[in-house]
Amino acid sequence: MTDSKIDSIISDFEFLDDWEDRYRYVIDLGKDLAPYPDDARGAEYKVQGCVSQVWLKRLPYQGNDPVLTFLGDSDAHIVRGLVALVLAFYEGKRASEIIKTDPEELLKTLGLDEHLTPQRSNGLRAMITRIRAEAQEALL
């Protein structure tokens, strides 16, 4: 996924007037996630701070400032869609870009900052924090 994927998501969101339709769209995004390996559902992959179970796995990388790739999953449909959204935002970015890029503007553009429950917002931010920490680790 690239910035064009995010641009496509933003366009789709603008086209959908009703928040129920937008929620269905987010759920559909989750259906397109790559299969998540069962052996990566342990505690070390679980994102802390999410009410639902969320797992993120960084794939192996090489180099000093690598492009990072993540797999993600959740046991809740809407949260799985949020995982897909976050992964689309960060996919294809180098570790240094991930650290510098904050998706807050994206969340405001999509209206998610206003329409998610506080628990889901906290979980979304926990995913972002985890991905940024993984990017920081990749630079060491």
User: Mind telling me the catalytic residues?
Assistant: 50
Residue 35 in tokens: 């299969």
Residue 78 in tokens: 């809407």
| Alpha carbon of residue 32 to chain centroid | 13
Q: Which residues pair with 54 in a beta bridge?
A: 74
Q: Which residues pair with 67 in a beta bridge?
A: 94
Task: Give the separation between CA 14 and CA 81, rounded to whole angstroms.
Answer: 17
- What's the longest Cα–Cα distance across the chain? 44
Task: Give the separation between CA 135 and CA 116, rounded to whole angstroms.
Answer: 26
Strand 54-58, strand 70-74: pairing: antiparallel
